[in-house]
Amino acid sequence: MSLVLQFFLYTSATIIFTVFFSFPPCPHPFNVVGVHDHQHENMITVSEDGFVQSPRFPQNYPRDVVLVWRLIAANENMQIQMTFDERFGLEEPENGLCKFDFVEIEDLSDGTIIGRWCGTKAVPGMQISKANQVRIRFRSDEYLASKPGFCLYYSLLEPDHFESSTVLPPSSLSLDTLNDAVSGFDTLEELIKYLDPERWQLDLEDLYKPTWQMLGKAFMYGRKSKVDLNLLKEEVKLYSCTPRNLSVSLREELKRTDTLYWPGCLLVKRCGGNCACCSLSCLDCQCVPVKVSKKYYEVLQLRYRSPGRRLHKSLADVALEHHEECNCVCKGKTGG
């Protein structure tokens, strides 16, 4: 048996909150109502399943709204599991960023943003808090509030259940989920142990075992000395056009969506800074590379041989573009 209640909040525009309850028990109605003043938040003690949602869900949500909820697990040793309703839709992002209408979740154990979501192309995946508190923010601007909005279901998760449900065999994870897991390890040993707990030591030995194949190019070129971070800090303060240290994602840089790498990011030199002191007789100068080289790194490469099978692990050479010299040129021209 279910009960449908409607709450009316009279502001400059009437907002209708529709709440669905199941018996037993009957959740408190404020479990689905946020607050409009972003300086305050609606505190919800989570002792049973519930949900929060955008006003009028799944109908068009109102414009110019800020709602904030703070979920606190009644048992401080429990996590909070959150799942979005499949009818998810907010204003589309701009250049891949959710700037206008969005919902975001903040983990209050360390202040990190678990995620910010918008658009209509994909329903956000399940989220699990690190500890027992999260903050949920929903914001809509004054334009284009024409999507169904969101509904976020929450429930409590026992710590033991959390560990057993998340430590899944790598072969059962999607590539993006596995990429998140791989990037969380600090050492190669921890990573190899996670990928294959039963034979990780053998895998580690095999990884560095000499073969008859030609050594990778990373062994043939000299490695850079340790970066002087103090010097880099001073260089960043300069406004000149010079090569700067920049971290790049290997999957994005190499455009390999079917492969994982560890480490997932590496430092390269790329032109940075501006040309405020450009001496050329043009209205607009830009900083461009005039000398480019490729440098090779040896990293751990992970690939699926076939769905459901163990990951293939190997050391692989990756070539990354480095900018050795930079110069200011008139905008529209290329460097020599």
Residues 182, 265: one domain?
A: yes
Q: What is the mean pLDDT of the chain?
A: 77
77/183 same-domain check: no
| pLDDT over 70, % of the chain | 71
Specify whether the CB–CB gap between 171 and 308 falls below 8 A: yes
The Cα 228–Cα 158 span in angstroms is: 45
Specify whether 186 is located in the same domain as 233: yes
14: confidence class by pLDDT, cuts 50, 70, 90: very low
Mean pLDDT, residues 293-321 taken together: 85
Report the C-alpha gap between 217 and 290 in whole angstroms.
24
Number of compact structural domains in the chain: 2
Nearest to 165 by CA among 90, 81, 274, 221: 81
State the average pLDDT over residues 241-267.
89
Query: CB atoms < 10 A from the CB of 226, how many?
Result: 6
Helix axis angle for 200-208 and 188-195, nearest 10°, is 120
- Helix, coil or strand: residue 242: strand
We report the CATH number of the domain holding residue 139 as: 2.60.120.290
User: If we measure between CA atoms, which residue out of 310, 276, 264, 76 comes closest to residue 172?
Assistant: 310
Q: Residue 265 belongs to what domain range?
A: 175-210+229-330
User: 334 versus 83: which is more confidently predicted?
Assistant: 83
| Residue 186: pLDDT band with limits 50, 70, 90 | confident
Residue found under tokens 């000299």: 222
Question: How many CB atoms lie under 10 A from the CB of residue 185?
Answer: 16
pTM of the model: 0.41
Cβ–Cβ < 8 Å for 323, 331: no
Per-residue model confidence as pLDDT tens digits over 298-307: 999 988 776 6
Q: Say yes or no: 188 and 141 in one domain.
A: no
- Contact between residue 135 and residue 106 where contact means Cβ atoms under 8 Å apart: yes
Segment 51-60, tens digit of pLDDT: 999 999 999 9
Helices (H) and strands (E) in the chain, counts: 7, 16
φ, ψ dihedrals at 270, nearest 5°? -135, 150
Which 3 state secondary structure label does DSSP give 300?
A: strand
132 and 192 within one domain: no
How many C-beta atoms lie closer than 10 Å to residue 182's C-beta?
A: 21
Whether 151 and 183 map to the same domain: the answer is no
Residue 296 clears pLDDT 50, i.e. is over it: yes
Cα–Cα distances (Å) from 162 to 130, 171, 194, in that order, read 10, 19, 17
Residues 195 and 319 in one domain: yes
106 within a domain of the structure (yes/no)? yes
What average pLDDT score do residues 220-232 get?
48
Residue holding tokens 């994870």?
173
Inside any domain, residue 52: yes
273 and 322 together in one domain: yes
| Domain match, 57 and 142 both | yes
Higher pLDDT, residue 65 or 161: 65
**CA neighbor of 264 nearest in space, from 326, 156, 185, 170:** 185
For 66-100, write each residue's pLDDT tens digit: 999 999 999 988 999 999 999 999 998 888 888 88
**Which CATH number does the domain housing residue 252 bear?**
2.10.90.10
Within a domain: residue 23? no
Flag whether 19 is in a domain: no
For 267, phi then psi, to 5°, come to: -90, 135
So what's the pLDDT on residue 28? 34
Higher-pLDDT residue of 10 and 203 is 203
What are the tens digits of pLDDT across the range 133-171? Answer: 999 999 999 887 667 999 999 999 876 544 444 456 777
pLDDT band at 104 (very low <50, low <70, confident <90, very high): very high
Once rounded to an integer, what is the mean pLDDT over residues 106-128?
A: 89
In angstroms, how far is CA 155 from the centroid of its own chain?
23
Q: How confident is the model at residue 214 (pLDDT cuts 50, 70, 90)?
A: very low
The pLDDT, as a whole number, for residue 203 is 82
> Residue 90 falls within a domain, yes or no?
yes
What is the pLDDT at residue 159?
A: 65
Task: Calculate the CA 265 to chain-centre distance.
Answer: 14
Q: How far apart are CA 321 and CA 74, in angstroms?
A: 52
- Other C-beta atoms closer than 10 Å to the C-beta of 169 total 13
Phi and psi (nearest 5°) for 116? -130, 130
Whether 266 and 238 map to the same domain: the answer is: yes
Residue 31, pLDDT score:
37
Question: Residue 166 half-sphere exposure, CB side, CA atoms within 13 Å?
Answer: 17
| 29 domain-assigned | no
Q: Is residue 77 part of a domain?
A: yes
pLDDT for the residue numbered 46? 95
Whether residue 195 is found in the same domain as residue 104: no
Tell me if 152 is assigned to some domain: yes
pLDDT for residue 182: 80
Between CA 34 and CA 65 the distance in angstroms is 10
Q: Which residues pair with 329 in a beta bridge?
A: 286
Query: How much is the pLDDT for 26?
Result: 32
Tell me, yes or no, whether 202 and 129 share the same domain.
no
Amino acid at 143: Y
